[in-house]
Amino acid sequence: MASREHYTTKLLPGNFYHIYSRAIKELPLFLTEANHSHFLKLLDFHLSDVLNLYAWCLMGNHFHLLVEVKESHGQEKILHRQVHERFRKCFQAYALAINEQESRYGALFQKPFKRAHVDSQDYFTQLVYYIHSNPQRHKICADFRDYKWTSYHSILSEGITKLKRKEVLDWFGGKDEFQKLHAEGKMDLDERLLIEVE
């Protein structure tokens, strides 16, 4: 369950965060392959100049991101507002697209989006695994490595990406160690990660 601070945590330069949210009223967020791709394109368009992206997972009615707020020479309070506003515009643009596709109107995402400060190296490591294994944890598939819409495959690929692939692989000690940790699936997760996306 999300703690109260996940609704109010400030997004500060040089810090890592677990960003997550879901649709209202149990609506689906992603209905087609194109929806997933469009959401990722909007994230890039609205947020890539203020955030670095390290891991992501798009589920049927929610998503998870591991991001770092880029360093800034401006005031931290202003940057927090800027990042928050960029997320708002991203979610609004996506909701408009889904509403047009589904001939509906109104809000799509729960507000505010939730964010948890990633405050240790262990937490970072566990969060990467948690995000990638989310489809299996939700019983969407028997093996999360078979699920298409996570950064797991992007990290292992050689394709062009803005994802911080090299940094993630270096963090885990290379591609082999990254795959080994994910394959073993024996990580004891920090209790802060055991959340329901409400």
Q: Residue 168's closest CA among 64, 17, 52, 59?
A: 52
SS3 107: coil
Q: What is the pTM of this model?
A: 0.90
- C-alpha torsion 28→91→40→120, nearest 10: -100
Residue 7: which pLDDT band, with cuts at 50, 70 and 90?
confident
Q: Per-residue pLDDT tens for 125-180?
A: 999 999 999 999 888 988 899 999 999 999 999 989 999 999 999 999 999 999 99
> For residue 18, what are the β-bridge partners?
66, 116
Of all residues in the chain, the percent with pLDDT exceeding 70 is 87
Per the CB < 8 A criterion, the answer to whether 20 and 66 are in contact is no
Q: Per-residue pLDDT tens for 55-89?
A: 999 999 999 999 999 987 566 666 788 899 999 99
In sign, the C-alpha dihedral spanning 190, 134, 160, 162 is negative
